[in-house]
A and B are shown apart, each in its own frame.
Chain A
């Protein structure tokens, strides 16, 4: 086994960390954490399916492409729950999903990596993150921002999609020798995925602690 496979397996397995924390608080969850939990479950299922297909040496890109669309939709819905202007967000959601579906069906097709959809998802989600941060700075919803679950979740989203976008932009300059190029990208992407899952886990943990402490205080006389 080589270095990049350790990273790949760890990346694949890292989804378990946030899922485990989500299990701890299965019933008492705020709506935005429930959205995240759905995303994690879909992610796990698509990864498992890919693994099965890989063992039979079948094309797995179509799973990744469809999962990408589902992830984009769920994350936009997640941000929508935190922001105003629902009409604007809904139209962004519809347009982008429509475009991605068109892309996967007719433009780039399901059996190659949908780079176009990926770029659009990156741009949209980076914008949402930045707008959400701006919104936080204006709204000042809580004294200790580091205890806000959504903050960590959006850190995760920003890291993952921001990093992805960066990789996409500099893809041609990042190569370490001709052969390493593809692998380097793959490893870096896996690293980003690990970090994202850890940040999601922190967010879920913050939400878990919040729920637990409020339950405890409601039990107190």
Chain B
């Protein structure tokens, strides 16, 4: 068997490397195709996961809302009525016998205690669920909320500008819940003396500003009041609202919520 000529060797090398190059290129294309599809798939999965998370939050908030409704109704209809029955009986006793002295004081105090208890029941159940929200709308309900919180050691001023919309659907209730949470934070944690709630109605969005002169909130506050902030954040997200902390220091804080009116 005779040896290969130099031309043949070159021919083989060129042919072989060309073939190898083709194969390697093909394999590289395959791997990059695979990687691309993998990324797409991961992105899809991420979106599904996000959707799922959003659904979980949604159902959590929904169940929170129904639970509040249930507790409010129970408070009203059972404890409220029972307290009222107690008051009726005490009143009956008061009318039958002429109390005097210490007994009279006790009678009057008992009446007062019952009155206050009934008021508390009403207040708490309203705060849990403003029952008539879907009839009265956002503006009236926030106004009502402000007047209810007023005079507990702080002054709450409610202002409204622009074309007030009679906004009363579920998104409005979300917005109301956010304001309620913000006000609760201001009253309970910021030790504010005066709070300003400002509603500014634009054609396609509503600006809600809550300002206070309290001590502001820190990260610790957020942790301590985790559920409150959880609610604020997720509810804002659910109505596509942007929440912005405009000011937060020792002299007070200002939080602005921008709610698009048509989703």
Q: Is the Cβ of B30 less than 8 Å from the Cβ of A3?
A: no
Contact B27 A180 (CB under 8 A): no
A166–B19 touching, CB < 8 Å:
yes
Complex contact A133–B30 (CB within 8 A) = yes
Question: Is A71 interfacial (CB 8 A cutoff)?
Answer: no
Partner of A145, one of B8, B12, B35: B35
Interface residues of A in 11-29 (CB under 8 A from B): none
Main secondary structure of the interface of B (DSSP, over half): helix
Q: Is the CB of B20 within 8 A of A146?
A: no
A145-B31, A166-B19 in contact; A188/B3 too (CB < 8 A)?
no
Pair count A-B, CB < 8 A: 55
When A176-B8, A188-B15 are in contact, do A136 and B34 touch as well, CB less than 8 Å?
yes
In the complex, are the beta carbons of A195 and B20 less than 8 A apart? yes
Q: Which of A2, A136, A155, A191 contacts B3 (CB 8 A)?
A: A2
Q: Is the CB of B16 within 8 A of A188?
A: yes
Mark contacts of A163-206 with chain B using CB atoms, 8 A cut-off: 1 yes-contact digit, 0 otherwise: 10010000000101100100110011001000100000000000
User: Is there contact, CB below 8 Å, between A177 and B8?
Assistant: yes
- Does A143 make an interface contact (CB < 8 A)? yes
Interface string of B5-49 (1 = CB under 8 A from A): 101110110011001100100010011011101100100000000
Complex interface: chain A residues within 8 A of B103 (CB) = none
CA distance A211 to B196 in the complex (A): 66
B15 contacts across to A, CB distance below 8 A: 174, 188
For window 91-142 of A, CB contacts with B under 8 Å fall at 133, 136-137, 140
Q: CA of A181 to CA of B34 in the docked complex: distance in angstroms? A: 39
Task: For A146, list chain B residues within 8 Å (CB).
Answer: 31
Give 1 or 0 for each of B145-186: 1 = CB within 8 Å of chain A CB. 000000000000000000000000000000000000000000
B132 contacts the other chain (Cβ, under 8 Å)? no
**CB distance B16 to A191 under 8 Å?**
yes
Residues of chain A with a CB closer than 8 A to B35's CB: 145
A140: chain B residues within 8 A (beta carbon) = 34, 37-38, 41
CA distance A166 to B16 in the complex (A): 12
* Interface presence of A207 (CB below 8 A): no
Complex contact A159–B23 (CB within 8 A): yes
A143 to B34, CA, bound (A): 9
Give the bracket for the number of chain B residues in contact with chain A. 20 to 34
On chain A, the residues within 8 Å of B33 by CB distance are: 137
* C-alpha gap A177/B30 in the complex (Å): 37
Q: Are A137 and B19 in contact (CB under 8 A)?
A: no
Q: Does B219 sit at the interface, judged by CB under 8 A? A: no
B92-125 interface code vs A (CB 8 A; 1 in, 0 out): 0000000000000000000000000000000000
Contacts of A159 in B (CB 8 A): 23
Residues of chain B with a CB closer than 8 A to A137's CB:
33-34, 37
> CB of A149 within 8 A of chain B?
no
Query: Assuming A143-B38, A184-B12, A188-B12, is B31 touching A176 (CB within 8 A)?
Result: no
A3 touches B20 (CB 8 A): no
In the complex, the chain B residue whose C-beta lies closest to that of A145 is B34
- Smallest beta-carbon distance B48→chain A, Å: 15
Q: Quick one: closest B residue to A187, CB to CB?
A: B12
A155 lies within 8 A of B27 (CB): yes
> Which residues on the B side are within 8 Å of A145 (C-beta)?
31, 34-35, 38
Among the listed A158, A162, A166, A183, which residue makes an inter-chain contact with B4, where contact means beta carbons less than 8 Å apart? A183
Q: CB-nearest residue of chain A relative to B12?
A: A187
Query: Do A162 and B11 contact each other (CB < 8 Å), given the known contacts A137-B34, A140-B41?
Result: no
Contacts of A177 in B (CB 8 A): 5, 8
Nearest residue, chain B, Cβ from A138? B37
Known contacts A137-B34, A140-B38; 10 additional CB pairs below 8 A are: A2-B1, A140-B34, A140-B41, A158-B23, A166-B19, A176-B12, A177-B5, A180-B8, A180-B11, A183-B4
Residues of A within 8 A of B (CB): 2-4, 133, 136-137, 140, 143, 145-146, 155, 158-159, 162-163, 166, 174, 176-177, 180, 183-184, 187-188, 191, 195
Chain B interface residues toward A at CB < 8 A? 1, 3-5, 7-9, 11-12, 15-16, 19-20, 23, 27, 30-31, 33-35, 37-38, 41
A-B CB proximity, top 7 nearest: A2-B3, A145-B34, A176-B11, A180-B8, A176-B8, A191-B16, A159-B23
7 examples of A-B residue contacts, CB within 8 angstroms: A136-B34, A145-B38, A146-B31, A163-B23, A177-B8, A183-B8, A184-B8
